[in-house]
Amino acid sequence: MTDGQNAPETERVETVWDQSRPRGDEASSSGTSGWLAGINGGDWTTLGAIAAIALAIGIVNALSGAQDAAWRGDSSDVGRRLLWELTSIIVILLLVPILMLSVRRMRRTTGLAAQIGIGAVALLGFSALHITGMVGLRKFMLWLVGSAYDFHFSLAVVLYEFRKDAVTALLIGATLWLIESRRELRKAARAALSMPAAPLEQPSPDLIWLRDGTSRIRVAPRDILWVASAGNYIEYSLANGTQHLIRGTLAATESELARFAIVRVHRTRLANLDRVSGVDFKPSGDFELTFDTGKTLGGSRRYRPAVASLGGRTAPA
């Protein structure tokens, strides 16, 4: 098939043109902290904002309830209504850190089922502590002024309070989730700005990848001596004596290898001119190339212009 010396058994592989192939980007796992992540300065600002909003809503609810009662002809005890609202708000604010830590835990947890489980436990704990704390605080404050408070504990009353607690916890939790998302985005932006500029990478040399199924062989163009046609396949002959048989056409391979000074020297052969150490022009117009490894390859006169300048001599007509 070629004029070269015998080579070891040929490997049948598939070529892959993969120049300057970038490294795969692997997502790095983010670090996590413990359940008790602590409350920082930004958290206190968030708590202050929630407290201000809750206080305003509580006052408006108390005044509106008193006004509605007056219109119905009922007792409009504004002071008692404010007490009910403020005791509930105080306990909710004390429980906001639980919701905050639950939200952070959910954001660090993968899996929807696990997140739902954390949210359900947080909601049940929030409601139980809110009802207990609110009733206890009201009893204590009325006891201080010589009065009493009766909660009328029953399943219907507990479910009534739980519905309100669920809405409250959902609104506060969603707000905290959005705040955490925005905080993480700002932190990532600051980290990106503070990182030193990466040095410009030097472009890697072009390489040729020969692939057989999942196996890939990287070949440097410098290692190629010649490429020859073999029916529906083409054969790479390398300087170390190995040969790789791949499916393809010589014309397609020629266009890909031209930039490496691997040119056609015969109807069925391409030669790497950078590895040619000598050329012998025959009287017939054909020629013979000698490579730096000592191997030889014949070329036809039709393609002698491709090697005319080798060795500083002119090919005979």
| 153-207 per-position pLDDT tens digit | 888 988 988 998 898 889 888 888 888 888 888 888 888 777 666 555 454 456 7
Average pLDDT over residues 44-71: 77
**Residue 124 confidence (pLDDT):** 94
| Residues facing 246 on adjacent strands | 13, 234
83 with 211, same domain?
no
Asked if 290 and 4 touch (Cβ cutoff 8 Å), the reply is: no
Q: Which two tokens stand for residue 55?
A: 């206080």
Return the higher-pLDDT residue of 68 and 239.
239
pTM exceeds cut of 0.75: no
Task: Tell me which residue has tokens 């046609």.
Answer: 229
Give a yes or no: residue 33 inside a domain: no
Q: What percent of the chain has pLDDT over 90?
A: 19
68 with 183, same domain?
yes
Asked if 96 and 165 touch (Cβ cutoff 8 Å), the reply is: no
Residue that is last in its domain, among 194, 227, 254: 194
Q: Which two tokens stand for residue 130?
A: 């809110």
Give a yes or no: residue 136 inside a domain: yes
CA–CA gap between residue 97 and residue 76 (Å, rounded): 34
Amino acid at 64: S
168 with 300, same domain?
no
Asked if 253 and 234 touch (Cβ cutoff 8 Å), the reply is: yes
Give a yes or no: residue 58 inside a domain: yes
Residue 214 has pLDDT above 80, yes or no: no
Q: What is the pLDDT of residues 261-310, one digit of tens each?
A: 889 999 999 999 999 988 888 888 899 999 999 999 999 989 888 887 77
Q: Which two tokens stand for residue 170?
A: 């959902």
**Residue 110 confidence (pLDDT):** 84
Residue 120 has pLDDT above 90, yes or no: yes
Write out the H or E segment, with its range, that includes residue 237: strand 233-238
Provide the CATH number for the domain around residue 297: 2.40.50.1020
Report how many domains make up the chain.
Answer: 2
**Residue 9 confidence (pLDDT):** 47
Cα–Cα nearest to 219, from 22, 18, 2, 7: 18
Please enumerate in sequence order all residues whose Cβ is within 8 A of that of 275, keeping only pairs 6 or more positions apart, or say none.
222, 224, 225, 239, 291, 292, 293
Among 10-19, 184-193, 198-207, 211-220, which stretch is predicted with the lowest mean pLDDT?
A: 10-19
Range of the domain at 227: 11-19+206-312
Residue that is last in its domain, among 194, 219, 249: 194
Asked if 120 and 112 touch (Cβ cutoff 8 Å), the reply is: no
